[in-house]
Structure 1
Amino acid sequence: MKRLIKIFERDLKNSIRDGMLLFILIAPILLALLLRAFIPAVKDLSIEFGAVKPINKALVEKIETFAPITFFDNTEKLIERIEEYDDFLGIRMESGEITLIAQGNESKELLSLASEILVQSFNPSGDSFTVGESELGRKLPPLSLYGFVLVILGSFLFGGMIIGFNIIEEKEQETLKALRVTPMRTFDFITGRSLIGFLAPIFHAFVVVWILGISNFNPLMLLVITISGSVIGVVFGFWIGVISTNQMNGIANMKISFFVLVLPVFLAMTLPEKSHIFLYWAPTYWTFVSVKNLLLELQTWSNMLKDISLIIGTSILFALATFRKIRSGILS
């Protein structure tokens, strides 16, 4: 245990002393603060409606004097469009009644204004009229939701970068060879060096949810997901450290690896869900799914355990595939 703590203390001191590594430690917090500055602007977006054909032409003309309407062939396509990242509202006409469909994360002001537009368009005489609202269940603005997911995934990889650059520094100073003649085992070295890759994301996760004003989540679930997701960053860090000969080479390898790991998340945010099967290989995809469900208050312990198994399982597969390379790189 003393050896593990010593390795952790050494990594922490190196991270604070090195300006680039210090930036990596505070980068997720800076990103969260930048994201927070843009979140209020979501309320300033204009209203857009969507509707399924056919719909009364006279009503459409009246609504379009206030806001544009996009038409869809069926309700499923309309729902898919509503669930995208901006404030897009749906209109449904049934039996002479009009229903407003929303995600559930829109501001009260936006929904009130949309309702007033429909009331005025449907019943311009000003008589009493009620518009029904149907929410799709989202309780968090998309900018907060997907911004948090990306910042936390970045935190995992930033923690891995610290591990990787510390290994590169020791390779350049040839201190790894000196460690081979000490009582320290390979297991001690890997475990001690991994600590910062687990502790930094935990710190970042709870600071970022506070910065973004996210309160409706299970803290224990967030802790468990963060710890399991950190495995990705730890494996990533050791891989960068052992395959890189110097810091410049490490930066180049980091950029390529970072792109490969983050790309599945961007694809998951843009592709239809039926296409996600092609992303199942990526541990970052399962982290994205688990964190998203947690923030939307859809996560259960049984589903989370399944997600965690897939996160750790896909990370371990990569670790096993590269274990010999990592081990030989540490001992060389």
Structure 2
Amino acid sequence: MLKKILAIMGRDTKSGMRDYMILYILVVPFLIAVILNMLTSSVSQSILRFAVDDTVTEEEISYFTQYAKVEEFESEEVLLERVEALDDVYGITKDANGFQVVTQGNEKVDMQEMAVLLLDSLSNEDIEVPVTLTVSDVGWKLSPIKQYGGSLLAVFISIFGGMIILINLVEEKQENTLAAMNVAPVNRIQYVLGKAALGFLIPLVHVIGILLILDYGSINYFMAALVTVSIALTSVIIGFTIGVNSDNVLAAISGMKMVFLPVLGSIFGAIYLREGLHFLLYWSPFYWAFMAMDSIILKEAAWGSILFSTLMILLISSVVMLAMRKKINRGLK
């Protein structure tokens, strides 16, 4: 059984690579994540960041942390690798001549002079530190763009798995391959599972890739994977329903676009509605997925709340499945 399911999945993958639409669906989420990461990282470049090696003492590091974010490394070689990374970090090392500032030379915001003055102030108390340090709390643990942008993207791209399913189904209908399934050595359950596999796998790869690109740190990727697979079920059901009842790809994609409204409505409702009105969104699996993903990104998620959100998604998806089952069965005949 597994061999037949994998064969169907492999066939869909090969045929999909010949279709630029599917390649577009596969690549675009990662491009959006890269752009989003560039937008949010450019804001954080205004923060002075030091990378120090083992030549810098703990007392000196303690002084630096008053004015800059400091990362410690065990050797100068590792420090140089860190300085050459994409973000703006100034390497600080020390030799017989004193402190040395290591730069890559293409920093977006030039803070080298500030770094030098800060180092000079450490060795000469008469030099005034050119930094005024103020701390304020506006209630954000992350940039709103990065927080909500990542959560929105992670939930929204779950639709893409359903879009790939419906494109493959429509193409098979046009080639009469779908009708041949009734006499093929593959039963309906195997066929459905084989078709649905990409609908789960692609969103899973997308979400994990997006979270890694946006670099949220030590979030729980197992929780993110569970939420992604559960919300992908809704998209798979919708993809099957539209795919088996559409005669051409454009009509199928137009039908899938209608799903964008409840998805975006649920997400923006979760963001802008006050918490007392969130019950108006409980009907939407995308609301539960967004709230779960948001808590994962903020590192506030607990397994109890994630499992509850997953259960709600599965219950709503089951209702959708029962409502659409006849249409799907009729379309597969």
Q: TM-score, structure 1 length as denominator?
A: 0.70
| Aligned residues of 2:292 and 2:306 also touching (Cα < 8 A) | yes
What is aligned with 2:294? Answer: 292
Whole-angstrom distance in 1 between the partners of 2:275 and 2:247: 40
What pairs up with 1:235-246 in 2 under 5 angstroms?
235-246=237-248
Q: Structure 2: which 5+ runs fail to align?
A: 47-132
Match of 1:198 in 2: 200
Tell me which residue corresponds to 1:10: 11
The aligned counterpart of 2:191 is 189
CA deviation map 1:90-116 (0-9, x unaligned): xxxxxxxxxxxxxxxxxxxxxxxxxxx
Q: Amino acid of the residue matched to residue 159 of structure 1?
A: G
Query: 1:92-241 maps to which residues of 2 (within 5 A)?
Result: 136=139, 138-241=140-243
User: Displacement of 1:272 after TM fit?
Assistant: 1.4
8 Å Cα contact 1:265/1:284 also seen in 2: yes
Shift of 1:264: 1.1
Identical amino acids, percent of aligned pairs:
34
Whether the aligned pair in 1 keeps the contact of 2:204 and 2:225 (CA below 8 Å) is: yes
Shift, 1:281, TM fit: 0.6
Alpha-carbon distance in structure 2 between the residues aligned to 1:217 and 1:174 = 46
* Pairwise CA distance, 1:201: 1.4
Does the 8 Å CA contact 1:161/1:240 hold for their aligned counterparts? Answer: no
User: Is the contact made by 1:25 and 1:159 (CA closer than 8 Å) also made in structure 2?
Assistant: no
Deviations, residues 156-215 of structure 1 (Å, cap 9, x unaligned): 101110001100111111111111101211111111111111111111112111211211
1:254 aligned residue: 256
- The count of corresponding residues between Structure 1 and Structure 2 is 248
Listed one character per residue, the Cα deviations across residues 264-312 of structure 1 (whole Å, up to 9, x for unaligned) are 1122112212111111111000000100111111111111110000011
Answer whether contact 2:262 2:284 (CA < 8 A) is retained: no
8 Å Cα contact 2:29-2:206 kept in structure 1:
yes
Partners of 2:192 and 2:275 in 1: CA distance: 37
SS at match of 2:142: coil
- 1:22 corresponds in structure 2 to 23
Contact 2:165 2:198 (8 Å CA) reproduced:
yes
Aligned to 2:32: 31
Tell me the alpha carbon deviations over residues 224-245 of structure 1, each in whole angstroms, 9 at most, x when there is no partner: 1121121122112112202311
The reply to whether residue 318 of structure 1 matches residue 282 of structure 2 is no
In structure 2, C-alpha distance between the alignment counterparts of 1:145 and 1:203, rounded to whole Å:
19
Q: Relative to structure 1, is the Cα distance of residues 42 and 240 closer, same or farther in structure 2, using a 3 angstrom cutoff?
A: farther
Comparing 209-218 and 187-196, the one that deviates more: 209-218
Contact 1:163-1:234 at 8 Å conserved across structures: yes
The question of whether the paired residues in 1 share the 8 Å contact of 2:270 and 2:287 is answered with yes
> Take 1:44 and 1:223, find their aligned partners in 2: how far apart are those partners?
31
Change (3 A) 1:135 1:269: closer
Q: How does 1:32-111 map to 2 (within 5 A)?
A: 32-42=33-43
Q: Secondary structure at the match of 1:180?
A: helix
Determine the C-alpha separation between the residues in 1 that align with 2:241 and 2:264.
16
Q: 1:261, 1:134 → 2: CA distance?
A: 31
| TM superposition shift of 1:151 | 1.5
Question: Which residue is 2:85 aligned to?
Answer: none
**Paired AA for residue 183 in structure 2:** V
User: Separation in 2 of the partners of 1:236 and 1:34?
Assistant: 29
- Which residue does 2:58 correspond to in 1? none
CA distance in 1, matches of 2:13, 2:142: 35
What residue is the counterpart of 2:272 in the other structure? Answer: 270
Task: Look up the equivalent residue of 2:6 and give its one-letter code.
Answer: I
AA in 2 matched with 1:256? M
Equivalent-residue separation in structure 1 for 2:163 and 2:152 (angstroms) = 16
Which stretch shows the higher mean deviation, 300-309 or 197-206? Answer: 197-206
TM-score of the pair, normalised by structure 2: 0.70
